[in-house]
Amino acid sequence: MRNVARGTAIALGVVLAACGGGSSPGSSATTNSYQGKTIQFGAILSLTGAGGVYGPSSKKGMDLAVETINKAGGVNGAKLALTTDDDASDKAQSAQVAQQLIQGGQLMALLGPTLSNSAVAVHPLAESFKIPILAVSTTGIHIVPDCNYPNATPCRFVFRDSLGEQTAIPINIMVYAAKAHPKTGVLMVANDDKFSSDGGKIVAATVAQYGITLLDTVEFSKTTADFATPVTRAVQKHPDVIFITSLGGIPAKIMIEARKQGFTGQFLGGNGFNTAVVSRQAGDSGKGAESGSAWYLNNTFASNADFVKAYRAKYGSDPDQFAAQGYAGILILADAAKRANLTFTDLAGDRTRLKDAMETVNINTPLGRFQFTSAHDVKQTVWVIAMDGNGGFTLVQSVNAS
Amino acid sequence: MAQQLLNAIFIGSIYALFAVGYTLVFGVLDVLNLAHSAVFMLGAVIAYSLVALHGAPFWLAVILAVLACGLLGLVIEYVALRPLRRRQAPPISALISTIGLALIFVALVEQATSGSLFSWLWQDGANSVRFPSGTVPNPTLHLAGLTIEGTKLGILVTTIILMLVLGSVIRFTQVGRALRAVAENRKAATLLGIDVDRIFASTLFISSALGGLAGILFGIAISDISPYIGRDQVELKGLAVIVLGGMGSIPGAVTGGYLLGLIEVLAFVRFGSNIAAGVAFAALFVMLIVRPQGLFGTRLRERL
């Protein structure tokens, strides 16, 4: 009888152990202790170089989220730690930084890189090392799910919380066409940067359905010193709209030059417009320039007011879209980590568990209620915003995700 | 087309002014000073910070920034060039050490944000800014379909005046004669009692002051001031200009500057941007094959 009891106890123990080891990722109950542990994330951001207009904002948003979560007790008692490295807006350096972060530490997940141009080097790397990577500002084509484009196999470890230009640009054009009925446009596009040239392709593919004729496509290098020459070519066509798909300070420089040369029409653009730095640099010349944004300062989503308040308290300025996306990125990873039943001993397993948990994220963020699509992409409200001439933006219209 | 030719003249002026600094140092010291692009950037940055952060009037900011750039020229001479010259290091060492100094200057600016050690100089990190509107009056003339900006016209006039002044200084003054003597033959100049080290220092001061001024003018005309304007926008162009014009030749640098501006703009209008940069450098290549000494270069060391 005692033997039977002992045998039953052993069998029960084995069953329990098996259950523990195989507990379904994404379930809200965790059995492993997180107390006293540290969950480490690494961010690859462009803090200098052309993307230096955007990366510092992302970093501020991320740092704020880490601080807020840790102050509130962390993730099931574990602290969050974030290592941020600068890729200087350079694709090769971005891949190198990613490699160091992946192999050098105990990182559970990566965030970034800032630029789509760098993502095509970094994301396949993360995929091959099986470490989840969450893009917080890349908006180009073929970021998710086909990070190994032209190979169409979906990447399993690559996610993004940044609104793709394939959604934002057509909505921006649709909203402007509906109210102003422009007939002609000229596209100005940087041809040596993935983000910019992708944006150009989207504009070119979209305008016809709104009755806009593209009179010319003016390509230029992102290292052009003086934009007078390409702008002259665009302005002399007398278009109703100049579409600008470029990043860094370039959209602002083009707007300033075009206004000097007497252009009085409309500027429409992409994600490159959506930061306070560009709006401030463009100043009066940029007033009224419209773009589709993933976020708007005064949106009424549940967690946005808290985010804006905390951001102002910490940095003494208003956040922008990139800060909101960086902040949301950490919230998403923290929520996934909370539910992933991390072991803190099996790094490879933890990364996979975290990835699985990310697929079922469903939380409030400043970007709205957040869930990934099956392609690991974002589906959210698009805010068409206009530069206000003083470094800020005003809301033109919001369009719900279809 | 007429507007594009005007564009070519304006950007050519900036290339010329920048390249003159390059060529002056090369002519006298036989060294390519690759920190020149960083000094160009610092000229714009210092003038901007004096106006935007410290409320200085523009004219004062220009004077102080140009002087500061001149002093940076002395830093280049004393830190990057003179110690190597003393050890009779090959010219390539001096070239590398000036690259190092340029990297340091750029890094100092791009790391400077509000609250950092250098926030008195720059608070915008990697971002691009422009002079507050109204800093320089910019009456814009719309004439027969052409747009002529006051600031750009000012740059053209400034460049021409400066070139004439520099040319006269080199041709007619004692310092100019000493400069030419050192450029011609360093040893002979020393034997004639010329203080070569002092001439080197003066050359660096003048060329860096000119480089800084070019940076300020660029900042005004192009509305773009960032840690990268030297490195990304003018460094390689400046090298192309002095090869076109003739290494070490000041009239060559001026002509080369306008020529490069013209080639770039014409190539852009005719072929588009994909080919424009290639066309400019193809012209360079042709020049190197047909006339390696450049337009105004001489086979002998009769420089400046």
Q: Is the pLDDT of residue A25 over 50?
A: no
- Identify all chain B residues contacting A261, using CB atoms and an 8 Å cutoff: 3, 147
Cβ separation of B126 and A47 shorter than 8 Å?
A: yes
Is residue A269 predicted with pLDDT exceeding 70?
Answer: yes
The one-letter amino acid at A188: M
| Contact assignment for B277 to A221 by CB distance below 8 Å | yes
Q: Which two tokens stand for residue A64?
A: 């704020």
Q: Which of B122 and A31 is assigned the larger pLDDT?
A: B122
The span from the CA of B14 to the CA of B35, in Å, is 17
Answer yes or no: is pLDDT of B232 > 80. yes
Per the domain annotation, does B302 fall within a domain?
no
CB B43 within 8 A of CB B254: no
Q: How confident is the model at residue A27 (pLDDT cuts 50, 70, 90)?
A: very low
Phi, psi of A364 (to 5 degrees): -85, 130
Q: What is the pLDDT of residue B303?
A: 52
Residue A199 contacts residue A173 (beta carbons within 8 Å):
no
CATH of domain A38-163+299-371: 3.40.50.2300
Average pLDDT of the segment spanning A273-289: 91
Considering only CB atoms, which chain A residues are within 8 Å of B11?
Answer: 225-226, 228-229
All residues of chain B having their beta carbon less than 8 Å from the beta carbon of residue A47 are 125-126
Mutate to test the interface with A, among B1, B4, B6, B7 (most CBs of A within 10 A): B7
For B194, the domain range is 2-127+145-232
Most confident of A13-27, A84-98, B213-227: A84-98
Taking residues A253-281, what's their average pLDDT? 92
Q: Residue B60: is its pLDDT beyond 50? A: yes
CB pair distance less than 8 Å for B113 and A56: yes
- Tell me how far apart the alpha carbons of residues B78 and A235 are, in angstroms, rounded to a whole number: 49
Confidence check: pLDDT of B268 > 70: yes
Residues B3-24 as b or e (16 or more Cβ within 10 Å = b): bbebbbbbbbbbbbbbbbbbbb
Mean pLDDT for A274-303 is 92
Residue A228 Cα to chain centre, angstroms: 32
For residues A123 and A131, give the distance between their C-alpha atoms in angstroms, rounded to a whole number. 10
* pLDDT (mean) for B40-59: 95
| Stronger pLDDT, B272 or B234, i.e. the higher one | B234
B279 to chain A nearest CA, in Å? 14
Asked if the Cβ–Cβ distance from A219 to B274 is below 8 Å, we say: yes
- Does residue B301 register a pLDDT over 60? no
Containing B265, the helix (H) or strand (E) segment is: helix B250-271
Task: Indicate the residue of B125, B218, B222 with minimum beta-carbon distance to A52.
Answer: B125
**Cα A89 from Cα B163, distance rounded (Å):** 38
pLDDT of B304 reads 55
Number of separate helices (H) and strands (E) present in chain A: 12, 14
pLDDT above 70: residue A252 = yes
| pLDDT score, position A126 | 95
ipTM of the complex: 0.78
Looking at residues B39-58, what average pLDDT do you find? Answer: 95
Residue percentage of chain B with pLDDT more than 70: 98
Buried b (16+ CB within 10 A) or exposed e, B63-97: eebbebbbebbbebbebbbbebbeeeeeeebbbeb
Q: Does residue A29 surpass a pLDDT of 80? A: no
**pLDDT value at residue B285:** 87
- What six digits make up the tokens of A270? 């992409």
Q: Which of A53, A223, A261 sits opposite B233 (nearest CB)?
A: A223
pLDDT for residue B31: 86
Identify the residue whose tokens are 């100089």: B121
The stretch A254-258 carries a mean pLDDT of 93
Q: For residues A258 and B33, is the Cβ–Cβ distance under 8 A?
A: no
Interchain proximity A219–B264, CB inside 8 Å:
no
| Residue B93 covered by a domain | yes
The residues, any chain, with a CB within 8 Å of residue A10's CB and separated by 6 or more, are none
From edge to edge, which strands make up the β-sheet containing A109-111? A79-86, A38-45, A109-111, A133-135, A158-160
Q: Which of A57, A229, A317 to mutate to test the interface with B (most CBs of B within 10 A)?
A: A229
Q: CA distances (Å), A391 to each of A86, A253, A289, A323, A386, in order?
A: 25, 14, 12, 15, 11
Distance CA B101, CA B17 (A): 21
> What's the alpha-carbon Rg for chain A, to the nearest Å?
23
Confidence (pLDDT) at A200: 95
CA dist B152 and B175 (Å) reads: 32
Residues of chain A in Cβ contact (below 8 Å) with chain B: 47-49, 52-53, 55-56, 191, 218-221, 223-230, 232-233, 236, 248-249, 252-253, 256-257, 260-262, 277, 280-281, 283-284
pTM for this predicted structure: 0.81
Domain boundaries, given as residue ranges, for chain A: 38-163+299-371, 166-293+384-399
Give the mean pLDDT of A368-396: 93
Are B127 and A226 within 8 A, CB to CB? no
How much is the pLDDT for B142?
81
Instruction: Find tokens 């002509």 and name the residue.
Output: B255
Interface probe, candidates A45, A196, A232, A287, chain B, greatest B C-beta count within 10 A: A232
Region A335-354: what's the mean pLDDT? 95
pLDDT at A20 over 50: no
Check pLDDT > 50 for residue B300: no
d(CA A396, CA A383): 8
Shortest CB distance from B127 goes to which of A227, A228, A277? A277
Tokens standing for residue B234: 């003018």
pLDDT at position B83 is 93
Which carries the bigger pLDDT value, residue A17 or residue B69? B69
Task: Please state at what angle helix B250-271 crosses helix B150-172, rounded to 10 degrees.
Answer: 150
**How many domains does the structure of chain B reveal?**
1
pLDDT interval class at B298 (50, 70, 90): low
Size of interface A-B (CB pairs under 8 A): 101
Q: How far apart (Å, rounded) are the C-alpha atoms in residues A236 and A234?
A: 6
Contact (Cβ atoms closer than 8 angstroms) between residue A280 and residue A18: no
B-chain residues near A221 (CB < 8 A): 273, 277
pLDDT for residue A379: 87
What is the distance between the alpha carbons of residues A288 and A154, in angstroms, rounded to a whole number? Answer: 39
Confidence (pLDDT) at B283: 81
CA distance A191 to A211: 25
Give per-residue burial for A184-211: e unless 16+ CB within 10 Å, then b: bbbbbbbbbbbbbbbbbbbbbebbeeee
**Chain B residues whose beta carbon lies within 8 Å of the beta carbon of residue A45:** none
Kindly state the percentage of chain A with pLDDT values over 90. Answer: 76
Contact present, A187 and A216 (Cβ < 8 Å) = yes
Record: contact B11-A228, CB cut-off 8 A: yes
- Nearest neighbour of B222 by CB, restricted to A55, A218, A225: A225
Tens-digit pLDDT profile for residues B100-131: 999 999 999 988 888 888 888 898 888 788 88
pLDDT band at A402 (very low <50, low <70, confident <90, very high): low
| Over residues A1-8, mean pLDDT | 46
Cross-chain Cβ contact B224/A257 below 8 Å: no
Q: How confident is the model at residue A14 (pLDDT cuts 50, 70, 90)?
A: very low
Query: A228: nearest CA in chain B?
Result: B7
Least confident of A171-175, A221-225, A281-285, A340-344: A221-225
Domain A166-293+384-399 in this protein, CATH class:
alpha beta
B contact set with A (CB within 8 A)? 3-4, 7-8, 10-11, 14, 110-111, 113, 124-130, 133, 140, 142, 147, 149, 218, 221-224, 226-229, 232-234, 237, 264-265, 268-269, 272-274, 277
Q: Is residue B254 part of a domain?
A: no
User: What pLDDT does A5 receive?
Assistant: 47
Q: Best residue in A187, A189, A222, A226 to probe B by mutation, most B CBs within 10 Å?
A: A226
pLDDT in tens, B118-172: 888 898 888 788 888 788 888 888 887 788 888 888 889 998 999 899 989 888 9
Q: Which residue has the higher pLDDT, B281 or A355?
A: A355
Residues of chain B positioned with their CB less than 8 A from the CB of A227: 222
Q: Is residue B113 assigned to a domain?
A: yes
**CA A241 to centroid of chain Cα atoms:** 27
- Of residues A191, A253, A284, nearest to B273 (C-beta): A191
Q: Which residues of B touch A256 (CB under 8 A)?
A: 130, 223
Q: What is the C-alpha radius of gyration for chain B, rounded to an integer number of angstroms?
A: 19
Identify whether the C-beta of residue A342 lies closer than 8 Å to the C-beta of residue A355. no
Confidence grade of residue A1 (pLDDT, cut at 50, 70, 90): very low
